[in-house]
């Protein structure tokens, strides 16, 4: 759905999330065949009521609804221009703005946030076995491979259109994403999933003395995804990918050194490295990835103005936050009200004679509190603290899959300081869902180890 960047895609996503949530709440009957002992009937709603993110989500949505019901600005347009006029509002309540749904407002953001929240709650309630989580992650890994392969095919055979027929409003698209940076960031999440699964299968194979397992295939998936991120020309996503792979390679090397000599298989490891290196080199040569490296170097060495503009936009956004930290300007309202602060900084208003319009702050960590205020941002922080506490209680660092997921999620969060990946619906929903998956996997593995 083009990265769910359009209102119709976001509405479909919300509908699917709602259907999944309703199905997850249906009672289940487990027979002796399922349990190995006595049959029982499982009611999902008590587990949902004990999930803190369920209540935090309701609290956040109530807050955003108050913003929408108490508008301080009204959208006006004459067909050529648009502007906002001030409206009387209740100053002791959070306020927002009135704008068309397609132009973004609080109700549009409820659709975006609602899909991620419902998906997370569904996973938390419905996934009761490790096998279910494992299948879910395998589907995500295969999805990442398909998106990566599609993006590579576009680079080799594309005609400048998404799916060869859709005229993208942004010429800088990749795979099915309208914006290449979003495509690269989503594939970074898939890379974390794929590497985590590969590590888990590899270690399980060592414990069970298996002759073969899917770890090699998943490593190949990760290679294809890494190549696609590089060829997306998304510099921030490429840096995240390189950093993530560096950590994984170092961890694998340390693990090999610490293994008992009788369990090491240096010939197999060297053969796999040579095979994947061959595919990596030929793939990079075919896709002219030298251009990607040149763009990455230009950004890092500040040979273009992209990073400089983002730093200035962040400074102006922090100024905006300083004046609206209490209640926020309203979910989805940043793009509408930032011009007030943008014109205080002429360098952000135009470039080379062309006016500039900032839909996002290019800094999610600053934009969320601008829109939601200290209360809304506080709700998000409390949710993050719950996940951190749950992961620590489950000793997540002892499991390679949970570690890879957490590392990938944190790196995307760090990346959001100089871009806006979490403003993309597909990335945000997947990012939220994977936190719940990381906690569940760590807990299932802990129970399995004790058993």
**pLDDT of res. 254:** 82
Cα-to-chain-centroid distance, residue 204: 28
11-23 pLDDT, tens digit each: 999 999 999 999 9
Cβ atoms 48, 125 nearer than 8 A: yes
Tokens 């109700």 correspond to what residue? 107
**pLDDT of res. 366:** 96
Confidence of residue 451 (pLDDT cuts 50, 70, 90): very low
Which carries the bigger pLDDT value, residue 170 or residue 440?
440
Rounded to an integer, the average pLDDT of 104-131 is 95
Rounded to an integer, the average pLDDT of 78-98 is 87
**pLDDT of res. 318:** 95
Rounded to an integer, the average pLDDT of 396-422 is 94
Query: CA-to-CA distance for 123 and 130, rounded, in angstroms?
Result: 12
**pLDDT of res. 37:** 73
CA distances from 116 to 21, 102, 123, 284 (A): 11, 19, 11, 35
What are the structure tokens assigned to 195, written together?
Answer: 């590497």
In 231-262, which positions are buried (b, 16+ CB within 10 angstroms) versus exposed (e)? bbbbbbbbbbbeebbeebeebbeeeeeeeeee
Cβ atoms 131, 33 nearer than 8 A: no
Residues 6+ apart with CB under 8 A from 301: none
The tally of CA atoms less than 13 A away on the side-chain side of residue 190 is 31
Cβ atoms 180, 174 nearer than 8 A: yes
Collect contacts of 379-382 with beta carbons under 8 A, ≥24 apart: 379/56, 379/59, 379/60, 379/63, 380/60, 382/52, 382/56
Which carries the bigger pLDDT value, residue 277 or residue 341?
341
Query: CA-to-CA distance for 194 and 222, rounded, in angstroms?
Result: 6
Query: CA-to-CA distance for 405 and 393, rounded, in angstroms?
Result: 16
Confidence of residue 150 (pLDDT cuts 50, 70, 90): very high
Query: CA-to-CA distance for 297 and 301, rounded, in angstroms?
Result: 6
DSSP 408-445: HHHHHHHHTTSS-GGGSHHHHHHHHHHHHHHHHHHHHH
DSSP helix, strand, coil percent of the chain (3-state; round to 5): 70, 5, 25
261-277 pLDDT, tens digit each: 666 566 556 655 665 56
- pLDDT over 50 (residue 107): yes
Mean pLDDT score across all residues of the chain? 87
Confidence of residue 294 (pLDDT cuts 50, 70, 90): low
Rounded to an integer, the average pLDDT of 248-252 is 85
**pLDDT of res. 230:** 85
**pLDDT of res. 210:** 78
CA nearest 342: which of 361, 324, 325?
361
Phi-psi label, residue 193: left if phi above 0, alpha if psi -120 to 50, beta otherwise: alpha
CA distances from 408 to 100, 109, 244 (A): 35, 25, 7
Query: CA-to-CA distance for 449 and 438, rounded, in angstroms?
Result: 16
Helices (DSSP H) in 175-333: which residue ranges?
A: 180-208, 215-231, 235-258, 266-286, 290-300, 306-324
Confidence of residue 441 (pLDDT cuts 50, 70, 90): very high
181-190 pLDDT, tens digit each: 999 999 999 9
**pLDDT of res. 82:** 85
- pLDDT over 80 (residue 90): yes
200-236 pLDDT, tens digit each: 998 888 888 777 788 889 988 998 999 899 888 888 8
Query: CA-to-CA distance for 69 and 96, rounded, in angstroms?
Result: 8
pTM for this model (two decimals):
0.90
- Lowest mean pLDDT, pick from 27-41, 69-83, 238-252, 346-360: 27-41
Q: Strand 82-86 vs strand 96-98: parallel, antiparallel, or unpaired?
A: unpaired
């Amino acid at each position: 759905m083009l990265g769910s960047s359009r209102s119709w895609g976001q509405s479909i996503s919300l509908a699917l999330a709602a259907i999944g949530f309703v199905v997850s709440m249906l009672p289940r009957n487990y027979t002796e065949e399922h349990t190995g002992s006595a049959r029982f009937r499982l009611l999902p709603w008590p587990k949902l009521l004990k999930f803190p993110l369920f209540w935090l989500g309701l609290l956040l949505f109530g807050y955003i609804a108050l913003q929408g019901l108490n508008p301080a600005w009204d959208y006006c347009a004459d067909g050529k221009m648009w502007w906002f006029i001030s409206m009387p509002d209740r100053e002791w309540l959070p306020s927002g703005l009135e704008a068309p749904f397609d132009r973004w407002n609080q109700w549009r953001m409820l659709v975006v946030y609602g899909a991620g929240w419902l998906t997370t709650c569904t996973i938390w309630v419905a996934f009761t076995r490790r096998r279910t989580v494992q299948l879910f992650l395998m589907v995500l890994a295969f999805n990442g491979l398909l998106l990566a392969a599609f993006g590579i095919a576009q680079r080799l055979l594309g005609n400048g259109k998404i799916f060869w027929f859709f005229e993208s409003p942004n010429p800088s698209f990749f795979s099915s994403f309208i914006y290449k940076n979003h495509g690269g960031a989503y594939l970074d999440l898939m890379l974390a999933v794929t590497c985590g699964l590969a590590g888990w299968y590899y270690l399980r194979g060592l414990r069970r003395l298996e002759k073969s397992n899917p770890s090699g295939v998943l490593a190949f998936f990760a290679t294809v995804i890494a190549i696609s991120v590089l060829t997306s020309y998304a510099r921030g996503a490429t840096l995240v990918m390189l950093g993530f792979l560096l950590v994984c390679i170092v961890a694998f090397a340390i693990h090999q050194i610490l293994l008992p000599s009788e369990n090491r298989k240096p010939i197999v490891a060297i053969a796999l490295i040579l095979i994947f290196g061959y595919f990596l080199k030929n793939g990079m040569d075919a896709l002219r990835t030298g251009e990607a490296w040149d763009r990455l170097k230009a950004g890092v060495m500040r040979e273009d103005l992209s990073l400089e503009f983002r730093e200035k936009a962040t400074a102006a956004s922090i100024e905006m936050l300083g004046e609206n930290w209490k209640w926020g300007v309203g979910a989805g309202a940043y793009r509408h009200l930032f011009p007030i602060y943008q014109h205080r900084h002429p360098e952000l208003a135009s470039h080379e004679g062309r006016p500039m319009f900032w839909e996002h702050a290019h800094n999610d960590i600053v934009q969320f509190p601008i829109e939601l205020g200290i209360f809304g941002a506080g709700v998000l922080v409390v949710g993050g603290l719950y996940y951190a506490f749950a992961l620590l209680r489950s000793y997540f660092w002892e499991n390679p899959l949970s570690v890879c997921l957490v590392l990938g999620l944190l790196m995307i969060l760090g990346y959001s300081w100089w871009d806006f990946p979490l403003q993309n619906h597909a990335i945000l929903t997947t990012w939220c869902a994977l936190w719940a998956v990381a906690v569940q996997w760590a807990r299932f593995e802990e129970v399995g180890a004790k058993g």
